[in-house]
Amino acid sequence: MTLASNTVASTGTNQKMTKSQFKTYLTLILISLYCMVPFIWVVLASVDPKASQFLRIPESVSMEHYWNLFANQSGLRWILNSIVINVSATIIALVFAGFGGYAISRTKAWWKLPLLYAIILVRIVPPPALIVPVYKVMLTLNDWVNALINAVFTDVATQQTMSRAFSFVDGYLGLILILAAMQLPLAIWIMKTFFDAIPIDYEESAAIDGATQWQTVRKVLIPLAMPGFAAAGLFAFINAWGDFLMPLMFTSSPELQTLPLGLFRAFLRVDAIDYGFLTALAVIYTLPAVIAFSFARKFLTQTFSGGVKG
């Protein structure tokens, strides 16, 4: 009787757990579907010739909106501007974060902890609070750069081209440096954490084997810290890619607009909103972040032993 009762109790417990799991999975599925509705609408509307603000199955599938985005609108310029600016800003942030993270990780000075708190404090300050002082500094540097460009180049067309490339306000260089500076504090913290996990014995062993400092950096430190560079680069690129405030404040020329500004302009058109064009632009806007995550995930899953072998 005891064995039979235990069997019945066990079966009842399993059934209860099964029902509980069913409810849990059903809840998760419903929440996932609710969260996916906007993405489903964006994808369907981007290929719907009669796209509207309501979710519906398109009667026919057309790539007209994507063609219009690249051929007849400024979408291609927005995409290229975003890629050039954000990739450059990410590279600059990674380079300085690598040097800064390694230096902070290896130093034993008394000012190490205050410096770390000061770095993260810059990241905590809301970006709108920095607009006025940063704009003042960039405007002063911009006057110096434009004066130098006008003194070196006499052709007006060349002056305009160089000014667009190297100006600190309404120029590529200024926006790249601002976005890189905004992502640098978090990147430094990430790299400092990864360098802390790398034993200094590896560097000492490389030095005993006759490796130069550059060889130690290239063959030991960089492979070991590659997951850190991947994580820092991923966060820096995604945050810079989605930044709207800085491009809005520091660019005014239509030739320098990025994708966030393009989406903003497309949504605030004077006439009727072209939802097909808007959703096609949103799909293109989402793809680079997804691709960056897919690429960085390979390095995020690497172990330190795998890095040494590399």
User: What is the average per-residue pLDDT within 196-219?
Assistant: 84
pLDDT at residue 11 is higher than 70: no
pLDDT confidence band for 98 (50 / 70 / 90): very high
* Mean pLDDT for all residues in the chain: 83
**Does residue 267 share a domain with residue 257?**
yes
pLDDT digits (tens, 9 = 90+) for 48-87: 888 777 778 888 888 888 888 887 667 888 889 999 999 9
Is there a contact between 117 and 294 (Cβ–Cβ < 8 Å)? no
**Does residue 106 share a domain with residue 7?**
no
DSSP letter string over 123-171?
HHS-HHHHHHHHHHHHHHHHHHHHHHHHHH---HHHHHHHHHHH-SSSS
Please report, for residues 214, 304, 306, the alpha-carbon distance to residue 309 in angstroms, rounded to integers and kept in the order given.
Answer: 18, 9, 5
Is there a contact between 42 and 283 (Cβ–Cβ < 8 Å)? yes
pLDDT confidence band for 37 (50 / 70 / 90): confident
**Does residue 118 share a domain with residue 7?**
no
**Does residue 106 share a domain with residue 58?**
no
**Does residue 87 share a domain with residue 14?**
no
**Does residue 130 share a domain with residue 51?**
no
- Residue ending a domain, among 62, 93, 112, is 62
d(CA 269, CA 257): 16
User: What is the average per-residue pLDDT within 136-140?
Assistant: 91
pLDDT confidence band for 305 (50 / 70 / 90): very low
User: What is the average per-residue pLDDT within 153-163?
Assistant: 87
Q: Which domain holds residue 276?
A: 64-309
Q: What is the CATH number of the domain that holds 91?
A: 1.10.3720.10
**pTM of the shown model:** 0.82
**Does residue 264 share a domain with residue 170?**
yes
**Does residue 78 share a domain with residue 39?**
no
- The tally of domains found in the chain comes to 2
Is there a contact between 49 and 276 (Cβ–Cβ < 8 Å)? yes
- Residue ending a domain, among 45, 62, 79, is 62
**Does residue 133 share a domain with residue 114?**
yes
Among 267, 247, 266, residue whose Cα is nearest residue 257: 247
**Does residue 88 share a domain with residue 55?**
no
pLDDT confidence band for 270 (50 / 70 / 90): low
Share of the chain above pLDDT 70, in %: 88
**Does residue 72 share a domain with residue 50?**
no
- Residue ending a domain, among 39, 62, 85, is 62
User: What is the average per-residue pLDDT within 187-203?
Assistant: 88
**Does residue 91 share a domain with residue 220?**
yes
